[in-house]
């Protein structure tokens, strides 16, 4: 029972690891030789709590290995990126490349699961690529030349992946019922959550819907923060009070929405239904407009000073992780460095050791530590609610201009 996982990133590698832990023989495939080498050495090329122990164990036991070519297997799990192309359309070229790698290895009877977050129709597209190359096969079930295609979107939260991968309920949508059932049997080996069967299109839409729901709700909080600011009201107190209503549960405003999921996936719905998905598009735009407001606020205060020092606290996309992908706080910091007439930006990010390339090598940017940055700063800009920032002695903020985008120091 061999499973091949194509794409060994934030989702593929943990999936490969839990399958190996469940006793499967797992071969991971990645285009990047350095990732393949790292995994075969039992190490993990990114930070995720608890992952390295499982990978190291599975590699040592000979259950998990990685390579750059796609092998023969009984089941394939495709977890490759689906970035944007054009006007927020989904770029399916990585899915297509994965399908082209899988097609020559098939004998009939294999399951091919698409895990990548995808627009409606992507599973069908993947199947069409494979059947285009191998027209002797069919997606009709129960024949010697049947292939089984499904979509099983991942829903794990970065930072809790190893727990949520096992415990979360899963939606499994097949092009046929038989494909869904085959996928269910495989995922039951590692997943203790409920396995909910549906068709592929509904599964694709369900994943996008979950993230769009969260995005719309965060947009509501962010819009409230702008309204409250203009009205001279503390938005966090406002939300706390309103949330005492038994049917109100408003999320938290912040400097914008980041990460590779919530800031991306809603656009796939908009791109499929531009005329109808108005609220979803507006929410995206509200959340994307938040960083510019933070930048203006800081610049307005900085420009009153002769040689302003701005402490930028947090450039990760959310609390207690090192992930800088689509991070609004990183973008705000870059913009401040670009647009400050004079002065210095002190970056404090406890989860990284060096500045990202967009910020390194600049005369007016330094990577600093919390105490040093706060003591030198005229303006303290808080953008991420990392634990160490919560513990800061508030006394040190007296005499400073504080822009607290997370309401951490209220
Ligand atoms: N954020 C706020 N206010 C809030 C909550 C979040 O501004 O009240 C911001 C965060 O600071 C961050 C962004 O939203 O910038 C996204 O963070 P998140 O914690 O909401 O979500 P992600 O991107 O880490 O993970 C999401 C999860 N989806 C949902 O909760 C519906 C996760 O379960 C998905 O698996 C993941 O997207 C994914 O891969 O799609």
CATH number at residue 312: 3.40.50.720
How confident is the model at residue 90, as a pLDDT? 94
Whether residue 222 lies inside any domain: the answer is: no
262 Cα: distance to centroid of ligand 1 (angstroms)? 6
Whether residue 133 lies inside any domain: the answer is: yes
The yes-or-no answer on residue 191 being catalytic is no
Based on the fold, state whether residues 109 and 196 are members of the same structural domain. yes
Whether residue 50 lies inside any domain: the answer is: yes
Based on the fold, state whether residues 202 and 257 are members of the same structural domain. no
Q: Which domain range does residue 10 map to?
A: 2-208
Averaged pLDDT in 10-residue chunks for the chain of 410 residues: 96 97 98 97 90 97 98 98 91 98 98 96 98 98 98 92 96 98 98 98 98 98 97 98 98 96 96 97 98 97 96 96 92 97 96 95 97 98 97 95 96
Mutation choice for ligand 1 from 156, 255, 318, CB with most ligand atoms inside 8 A: 318
- Cβ atoms of 44 and 7 closer than 8 Å: no
**What residues does 27 pair with on adjacent strands?**
4, 65
Burial of residue 121, with CB atoms counted within 10 A of its CB: 0-12 exposed, 13-18 middle, 19 or more buried: middle
CB of 269 sitting under 6 A from ligand 1: no
Q: Which of these three, 208, 228, 244, is where a domain ends?
A: 208
Helix (H) or strand (E) holding 402: strand 401-404
How confident is the model at residue 402, as a pLDDT? 97
Any idea which residue has 């001279």 for tokens?
A: 232
How confident is the model at residue 348, as a pLDDT? 98
Nearest-angstrom CA–CA distance, 337 and 343:
9
Domain count, the chain: 2
Nearest-angstrom CA–CA distance, 302 and 379:
7
How confident is the model at residue 233, as a pLDDT? 98
The yes-or-no answer on residue 306 being catalytic is no
Whether residue 409 lies inside any domain: the answer is: no
CB of 321 sitting under 6 A from ligand 1: no
Q: What is the pTM of this model?
A: 0.93
Based on the fold, state whether residues 143 and 290 are members of the same structural domain. no
Could you please report the per-residue DSSP string of 193-223?
A: S-EEEEEHHHHHHHHHHHHHHHHHHHHHHHH
Mutation choice for ligand 1 from 82, 257, 264, 328, CB with most ligand atoms inside 8 A: 257
CA distances from 385 to 211, 392, 409 (A): 21, 11, 10
61 Cα: distance to centroid of ligand 1 (angstroms)? 35
Cα 82-155-163 angle, rounded to 5 deg? 130
How confident is the model at residue 268, as a pLDDT? 97
Nearest ligand 1 atom to alpha carbon 164: 33
Whether residue 219 lies inside any domain: the answer is: no
How confident is the model at residue 82, as a pLDDT? 94
Nearest ligand 1 atom to alpha carbon 158: 24
Whether residue 86 lies inside any domain: the answer is: yes
Q: Which of 207, 290, 330, 406 is catalytic?
A: 207
Nearest ligand 1 atom to alpha carbon 252: 8
107 Cα: distance to centroid of ligand 1 (angstroms)? 40
Whether residue 337 lies inside any domain: the answer is: yes
23 Cα: distance to centroid of ligand 1 (angstroms)? 31
Based on the fold, state whether residues 272 and 129 are members of the same structural domain. no
- Cβ atoms of 2 and 98 closer than 8 Å: no
Mutation choice for ligand 1 from 165, 211, 243, CB with most ligand atoms inside 8 A: 211
135 Cα: distance to centroid of ligand 1 (angstroms)? 41
Whether residue 32 lies inside any domain: the answer is: yes
């Amino acid at each position: 029972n061999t499973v091949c996982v194509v794409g060994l990133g934030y989702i593929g590698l943990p999936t490969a690891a839990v399958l190996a832990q469940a006793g499967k023989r797992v071969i991971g495939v990645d285009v990047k030789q350095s990732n393949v080498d790292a995994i075969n050495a039992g190490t993990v090329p990114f930070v995720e709590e608890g992952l390295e122990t499982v990978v190291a164990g599975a590699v040592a036991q000979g259950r998990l290995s990685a390579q750059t070519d796609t092998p023969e297997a009984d089941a394939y799990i495709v977890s490759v990126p689906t970035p944007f192309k054009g006007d927020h359309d989904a770029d399916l070229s990585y899915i297509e490349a994965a399908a082209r790698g899988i097609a020559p290895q098939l004998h009939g009877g294999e399951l091919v699961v698409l895990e990548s977050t995808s627009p409606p129709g992507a599973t069908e597209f993947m199947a069409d690529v494979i059947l285009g190359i191998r027209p002797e096969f069919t997606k009709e079930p129960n024949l010697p030349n049947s292939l089984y295609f499904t979509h099983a979107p991942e829903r794990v939260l970065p930072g809790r992946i190893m727990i949520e991968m096992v415990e979360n309920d899963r939606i499994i949508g097949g092009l046929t019922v038989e494909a869904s059932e085959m996928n269910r049997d495989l995922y039951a080996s590692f997943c203790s959550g409920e396995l909910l069967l549906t068709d592929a299109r509904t599964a694709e839409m369900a994943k996008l819907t979950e993230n769009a729901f969260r995005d719309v709700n965060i947009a509501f909080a962010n819009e409230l923060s702008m309204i409250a600011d203009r009205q001279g009201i503390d938005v966090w107190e406002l939300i706390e009070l309103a949330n005492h209503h038994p049917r109100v549960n408003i999320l938290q405003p912040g400097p914008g929405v980041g990460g590779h999921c919530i800031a991306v996936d809603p656009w796939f719905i908009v791109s499929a239904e531009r005329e109808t998905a108005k609220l979803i598009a507006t929410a995206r735009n509200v959340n994307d407009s938040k960083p510019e407001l933070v930048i203006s606020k800081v610049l307005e205060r900085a420009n009153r000073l002769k040689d302003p020092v701005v402490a930028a606290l947090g450039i990760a996309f959310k609390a207690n992780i090192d992930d800088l992908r689509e991070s609004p706080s990183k973008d705000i910091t870059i913009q401040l460095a670009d647009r400050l007439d004079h002065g210095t930006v002190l970056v404090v990010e406890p989860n990284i050791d060096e500045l990202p390339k967009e910020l390194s090598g600049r005369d007016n940017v330094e990577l600093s530590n919390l105490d040093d940055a706060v003591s030198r700063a005229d303006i303290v800009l808080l953008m991420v609610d990392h634990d160490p920032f919560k513990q800061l002695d508030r006394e040190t903020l007296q005499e400073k201009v504080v822009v607290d985008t997370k309401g951490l120091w209220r």
